């Protein structure tokens, strides 16, 4: 007898009342009378607001004019007057940086992107080293692009170190992606010395690193950029420089301060606590002011500290103090059992801290840390108080131009959009990072 | 006579005014298995935590494998590297895979190359029957599996003594069995062990001596048969009737 043929039953659509967009809408937006009223009210507010903004910014806006007067004659105050922003746009982004040198800023930031790209390449394993090199070496390269000017011997070596780092990062990214080996191992393989003893291999690695450094020096030495003094820096560029340095400094410094505050050594703990409490209890604006006016008094007469440097130092210290408390919160969330397990496994203080405690603490603190970065980014607007022309201050300057006198709303609108884009990007990145780090580590 | 692995003499410890351990004397020889039991709060955990220096004592001497604990804690790491510890709450590192949990000490503590460290880790994971879970994260395992990983992790340090602090009291009955099996096997392999546990079947099977503590003191220390069949003190008898 032939076996019976199994006929799979056809799929049925799910019952109508349990799913589907219409059901969702009915359930969540029009469930009952109060719910429906709230939905309609919310929709009314949203529509009114959006149409008002669109009318002002696009439909009624003036796109071509020579001065604000012309705009006012055309549409009055009902539409935006964009020409003023167009004229000032380059200043909003680059400050008073000489126009023919602006490419240096663009290249500088592009280099950072190029430096970081390998961090997102899946087969690259040396991500920590690449990240560290971006923090430790990129600044030298970037500061020469931004500042230019005479470079002495030391300065040349540092810039060369920056270039060296960039080349190393990409060499690593390429060999790890293509062959799965680190640059050094790949190079030794190519030289046919894989069988050599460890000392020889080490010598080859050192030699290659040194040769690359010499090449970098030779490349860097002839480069000559005109000096652009920091007085001419401004706009988004200045905002990014200040907040970028503040952000990169605040994380490691905050970690050290937080560890110090929890230290068993009373002197270290007291010093860290005093520092943190001091800087946290004073508004940033006060710190900026103090550093700007009082720092020169403490320094030996004749030493000139650049105003931008003063602002950056103030921002860094302030940010580090805040970051320290966030990190400390994360450290406290790690159960003592983790320390005990690490200690009983024979790990020392730094091993326990870097391998066991910090990775867990930083992971739970990502939202707070990124929140702090975003706060810092926006707080840099305060540097206008000591006369630096950051993005915000530059926007204000538009309305003081005789042609565009009183044009404040439009530049602030644009600046708001710029801030939003940057902050929202950071926020998205933090959410993405959280998802990535928690994948597979929890019982789902 | 075999060497003395652990020697505790006149140990006294206080938490502020509270006298947790009172004049503790304890000698464990190479290969001996001790089971410590007693009511909650009697100081069992504190005693074994003093042995590997997770807690510091105020009076008395502790000698581990010939190394005397110094008050200043200068030889802490030497002592800890001889003593493996397994906790009631496993204390695995949740952000690392099971394998990484087990290679940590060989890599960082003993400075082995990666390949060798992984080999050692896999040997011990195989020994506790969990090799096929090596690439999972701890929270993806059951309690019994986690505790077995914790045992394997402690073993990667090549300890001479293993301390267990109620390793099975956070587990369901079936899981208790799998963990106890691993411990029995370890005992049969000749490891020196001190286990704080109330698993009396385990005590009967492997212990050379059962130590009963109460109120910070060692009330009674006897071979398991003697202890279970004819406890000397009323306090131990009452405790036994309670848990058996
Ligand atoms: N850090 C501490 N500070 C103050 N008192 C403590 C501390 N740790 C433990 N104690 C006290 O010391 C006593 C002994 O604690 P211990 O943890 O050694 O008991 P135990 O015998 O292991 O109990 P259990 O069976 O509940 O684990 C308890 O009364 C406890 O309250
Ligand atoms: Mg206990």
* pLDDT average, residue stretch A251-274: 95
Tens digit of each residue's pLDDT (9 = 90 or more) over B59-107: 999 999 988 888 777 788 888 889 999 999 999 999 999 999 999 999 9
Q: What pairs with residue B68 in β-bridges?
A: B63
Chain A residue numbers touching B51 (CB-CB < 8 A): none
Instruction: Answer whether B83 sits within 8 Å of A363, measured CB to CB.
Output: no
Tens digit of each residue's pLDDT (9 = 90 or more) over A124-153: 888 889 999 999 999 999 999 999 988 889
In angstroms, the CA B187 to CA A26 distance is 66
* pLDDT average, residue stretch A89-118: 94
Question: Whose CA is closest to atom 25 on ligand 1?
Answer: B40
Structure tokens at A357: 């405690």
Instruction: Answer whether B105 sits within 8 Å of A347, measured CB to CB.
Output: yes
Instruction: Answer whether A343 sits within 8 Å of B91, measured CB to CB.
Output: no
Count of CB atoms situated within 10 Å of the CB of A75:
15
CB-based contact B103:B93 (threshold 8 Å): no
pLDDT band at A425 (very low <50, low <70, confident <90, very high): very high
| Angstrom distances, CA of residue A51 to CA of A46, A214, A420 | 8, 61, 20
Domains and CATH numbers, chain A: 20-59 (no CATH), 67-97+234-444 (1.10.3720.10), 99-227 (no CATH)
What pLDDT does B242 receive? 82
Ligand 1 atom closest to residue B42's alpha carbon, by position in its atom list = 21
Count of CB atoms situated within 10 Å of the CB of A330:
21
Tens digit of each residue's pLDDT (9 = 90 or more) over B194-227: 999 999 999 999 999 999 999 999 999 999 999 9
In angstroms, the CA B239 to CA A371 distance is 55
Ligand 1 atom closest to residue B15's alpha carbon, by position in its atom list = 4
- C-alpha atoms less than 13 angstroms from C-alpha of B221 in its C-beta half-sphere: 14
What pLDDT does A334 receive? 95
User: SS3 sequence, chain B?
Assistant: CCCEEEEEEEEEEEECCEEEEEEEEEEEECCCEEEEECCCCCCHHHHHHHHCCCCCCCEEEEEECCEECCCCCCCHHHHHCCEEEECCCCCCCCCCCHHHHHHHHHHHHCCCCHHHHHHHHHHHHHHCCCHHHCCCCHHHCCHHHHHHHHHHHHHCCCCCEEEEECCCCCCCHHHHHHHHHHHHHHHHCCCEEEEECCCHHHHHHHCCEEEEEECCEEEEEECHHHHHHCCCCHHHHHHHHHHC
Alpha carbon of B89 to ligand 2 centroid (Å): 11
Q: What is the pLDDT of chain A when averaged over all its residues? A: 90
Chain A residue numbers touching B140 (CB-CB < 8 A): 440, 442-443
State yes or no: pLDDT of A441 exceeds 70. Answer: no
Alpha carbon of A333 to ligand 1 centroid (Å): 22
Nearest by CB to B91, from A338, A347, A441: name it: A338
In angstroms, the CA A237 to CA A383 distance is 13
CB-based contact A126:A264 (threshold 8 Å): no
Chain A residue numbers touching B164 (CB-CB < 8 A): none
Chain A within 8 Å of B85 (Cβ-Cβ)? yes
pLDDT band at B1 (very low <50, low <70, confident <90, very high): low
Per-residue b/e over B100-118, b at no fewer than 16 CB within 10 Å? bbbbbbbbbbeebeeeebb
In chain B, which residue's Cα lies nearest the Cα of A351?
A: B108
What pLDDT does B238 receive? 87
Q: Which residues line ligand 1 (CB under 6 A)?
A: B 15, 18, 20, 40-46
State yes or no: pLDDT of A299 exceeds 90. Answer: no
Alpha carbon of B45 to ligand 1 centroid (Å): 7
B68 φ/ψ angles, rounded to the nearest 5 degrees: -85, 135
* pLDDT average, residue stretch B133-152: 94
Tens digit of each residue's pLDDT (9 = 90 or more) over B168-183: 998 998 899 999 999 9
Ligand 1 atom closest to residue B55's alpha carbon, by position in its atom list = 1
Strands B217-222 and B209-214, how do they pair?
Answer: antiparallel
In angstroms, the CA A54 to CA A61 distance is 9
In chain A, which residue's Cα lies nearest the Cα of B140?
A: A443
Instruction: Answer whether B95 sits within 8 Å of A340, measured CB to CB.
Output: no
State yes or no: pLDDT of A15 exceeds 70. Answer: no
In angstroms, the CA A136 to CA A165 distance is 9
Q: Tokens 């007291």 label which residue? A: A270
In angstroms, the CA B38 to CA B45 distance is 11
Alpha carbon of B67 to ligand 2 centroid (Å): 25
Question: Whose CA is closest to atom 13 on ligand 1?
Answer: B41
Tell which residue, A309, A311, A291, A310, has the closest CA to residue A376. Answer: A311
pLDDT band at A253 (very low <50, low <70, confident <90, very high): very high
| Angstrom distances, CA of residue B86 to CA of A237, A269, B15 | 55, 32, 23
For residue A288, give the H/E element and its range: helix A284-298
Ligand nearest to the CA of B44: 1
Distance from CA of B102 to the nearest CA of A (A): 10
Report the percent of chain A where pLDDT is more than 90. Answer: 65
Ligand nearest to the CA of B41: 1
In angstroms, the CA A360 to CA A353 distance is 10
Tens digit of each residue's pLDDT (9 = 90 or more) over A23-63: 888 888 888 889 899 999 999 999 999 999 999 999 888 99
Ion ligand 2 neighbours (CB, 5 A) are B 45
What pLDDT does A140 receive? 94
Structure tokens at A74: 């055309």
CB-based contact A101:A232 (threshold 8 Å): no
Terminal Cα-to-Cα distance of chain A (whole angstroms): 48
A346 φ/ψ angles, rounded to the nearest 5 degrees: 85, 10
Counted residue by residue, chain A has a size of 444
Nearest by CB to A351, from B54, B93, B108: name it: B108
What pLDDT does B176 receive? 93
CA of residue A444 relative to chain centroid, distance: 31
The residue of A334, A337, A346, A361 whose CB has the most chain B CBs within 10 angstroms, and thus the best one to mutate to test that interface, is A346
Question: Whose CA is closest to atom 28 on ligand 1?
Answer: B41
Structure tokens at A33: 């009378």
In angstroms, the CA A349 to CA A89 distance is 52
Report the percent of chain B where pLDDT is more than 70. Answer: 100
Chain A within 8 Å of B93 (Cβ-Cβ)? yes
Count of CB atoms situated within 10 Å of the CB of A238:
25
CA of residue A387 relative to chain centroid, distance: 24
Instruction: Answer whether A359 sits within 8 Å of B139, measured CB to CB.
Output: no
Chain A residue numbers touching B50 (CB-CB < 8 A): none
The residue of A201, A341, A440 whose CB has the most chain B CBs within 10 angstroms, and thus the best one to mutate to test that interface, is A341
State yes or no: pLDDT of A443 exceeds 50. Answer: no
Q: Tokens 């993005």 label which residue? A: A391
Dihedral sign, Cα of residue B100, residue B105, residue B111, residue B116: negative
């Amino acid at each position: 007898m032939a076996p019976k043929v199994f006929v799979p039953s056809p799929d049925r659509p799910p019952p109508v009342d349990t799913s589907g967009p219409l059901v969702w809408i009915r359930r969540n937006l029009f469930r009952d009378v109060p719910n429906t009223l709230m939905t309609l009210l919310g929709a009314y507010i949203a529509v009114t607001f959006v149409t008002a903004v669109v009318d002002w910014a696009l439909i009624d806006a003036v796109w071509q004019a020579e001065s604000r007067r012309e705009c006012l004659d055309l549409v009055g105050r009902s539409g935006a007057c964009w020409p003023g922003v167009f004229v000032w746009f380059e200043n909003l982004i680059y400050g008073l940086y000489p126009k023919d040198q602006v490419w240096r800023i663009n290249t500088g930031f592009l280099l950072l992107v190029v430096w970081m790209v390998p961090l997102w390449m899946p087969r690259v394993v040396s991500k920590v080293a690449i990240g560290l090199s971006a923090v430790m070496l990129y600044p030298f390269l970037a500061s020469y692009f931004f500042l230019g000017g005479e470079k002495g011997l030391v300065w040349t070596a540092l810039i060369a170190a920056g270039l060296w780092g960039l080349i190393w990062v990409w060499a690593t990214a390429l060999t790890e992606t293509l062959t799965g080996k680190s640059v050094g191992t790949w190079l030794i393989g190519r030289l046919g010395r894989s069988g050599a003893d460890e000392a020889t291999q080490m010598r080859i690695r050192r030699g290659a690193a040194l040769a690359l450094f010499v090449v970098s020096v030779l490349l860097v030495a002839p480069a000559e950029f005109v000096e652009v003094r920091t007085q001419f820096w401004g706009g988004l560029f200045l905002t990014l420089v200040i907040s970028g340095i503040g952000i990169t400094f605040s994380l490691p410094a905050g970690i050290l301060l937080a560890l110090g505050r929890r230290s068993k050594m009373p002197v270290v703990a007291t010093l860290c606590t005093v520092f943190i409490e001091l800087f946290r209890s004073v508004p940033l604006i006060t710190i900026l002011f103090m550093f700007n006016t009082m720092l020169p008094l403490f320094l030996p007469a004749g030493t000139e500290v650049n105003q931008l440097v003063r602002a950056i130092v103030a921002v860094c210290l302030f940010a580090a103090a805040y970051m320290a408390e966030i990190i400390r919160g994360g450290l406290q969330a790690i159960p003592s059992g983790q320390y005990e397990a690490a200690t009983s496994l024979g790990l020392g203080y730094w091993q326990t801290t870097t391998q066991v405690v910090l990775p867990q603490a930083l992971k739970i603190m990502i939202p707070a840390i990124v929140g702090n970065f975003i706060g810092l980014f926006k707080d840099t607007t305060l540097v206008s108080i000591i006369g630096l022309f950051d993005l915000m201050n530059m926007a204000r300057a538009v309305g003081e131009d005789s042609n565009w006198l009183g044009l404040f709303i439009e530049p602030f609108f644009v600046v708001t959009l710029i801030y939003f884009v940057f902050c929202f990007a950071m926020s998205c990145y933090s959410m993405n990072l959280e998802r990535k780090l928690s994948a597979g580590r929890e019982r789902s | 006579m075999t060497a003395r692995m652990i020697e505790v003499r006149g140990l006294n410890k206080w938490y502020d005014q509270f006298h947790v351990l009172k004049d503790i004397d304890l000698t464990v020889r190479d290969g001996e298995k001790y089971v410590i039991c007693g009511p909650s709060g009697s100081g069992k955990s504190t005693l074994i935590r003093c042995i590997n220096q997770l807690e510091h004592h105020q009076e008395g001497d502790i000698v581990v494998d010939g190394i005397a604990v110094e008050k200043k804690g200068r030889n802490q790491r030497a002592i800890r590297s001889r003593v493996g510890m397994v906790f009631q709450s496993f204390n695995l590192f949740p952000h690392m895979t099971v394998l990484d949990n087990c290679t940590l000490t060989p890599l960082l503590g003993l400075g082995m190359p990666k390949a060798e460290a992984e080999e050692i880790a896999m040997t011990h994971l195989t020994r506790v029957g969990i090799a096929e879970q090596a690439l999972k994260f701890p929270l993806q395992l059951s309690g019994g599996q986690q505790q077995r990983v914790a045992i394997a992790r402690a073993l990667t340090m090549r300890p001479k003594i293993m301390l267990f602090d109620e390793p099975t009291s956070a587990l369901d009955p079936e899981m208790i069995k799998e963990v106890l099996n691993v411990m029995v096997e370890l005992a049969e392999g000749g490891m020196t062990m001190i286990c704080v546990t109330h698993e009396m079947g385990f005590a009967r099977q492997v212990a050379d001596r059962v130590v009963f503590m109460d109120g910070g003191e060692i009330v009674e220390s006897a071979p398991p048969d003697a202890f279970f069949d004819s406890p000397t003190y009323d306090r131990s008898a009452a405790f036994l009737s309670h848990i058996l």
